[in-house]
Amino acid sequence: MSFLNIAVLLSSSAFLYYGVECLWSKKMKDEFIRFGLKKQRVLTAYLQISGALGVIFGFFLAPILILISAAGLALLMFLGFGVRIKIKDSIAESLPSLILGLINLFIAVSYYNLLVS
């Protein structure tokens, strides 16, 4: 299995999990209140789940879908990283969003290169 395929599997799994957690978990509801983003929690959950499904379906059906979905997830995570910096979370608390953002940026760039070559 290639590094790119591992990244796709990791990304889609993580975002399916966190998207569902965003919808139903009391802890995640409290986190969004702490972030000052209470009203954006459900939208964020749907974006995470949609992005994860786009990566999965794109892997099997249409690589352009992975490119779009991974780019959207990368943007979502970089914004999340910014929020964590803004509220002065520790680097340990902030790092997962940055790492997931970088993984999705890697996926998006890789698929862009595959599509244009």
Closest to 74 measured CA to CA, from 51, 95, 56: 51
- Distance, C-alpha 100 to centroid of its chain: 6
Question: pLDDT by residue (tens digit) across 62-97?
Answer: 999 999 999 999 999 999 999 999 999 999 999 999
Name residues whose C-beta falls within 8 Å of residue 40's C-beta, 6 or more positions apart in sequence.
32
Mean pLDDT for 45-61 is 97
Q: Domain coordinates of the chain in residue numbers?
A: 3-116
Rounded distance between C-alpha atoms, residue 5 and residue 107, angstroms = 9
Structure tokens belonging to residue 117: 């070559």
Give mean pLDDT, residues 10-17.
98
Name which of 2, 30, 25 is nearest 48 in CA terms: 25
So what's the pLDDT on residue 1?
83
Place of tokens 């998006």: 108
Read off the pTM. Answer: 0.95
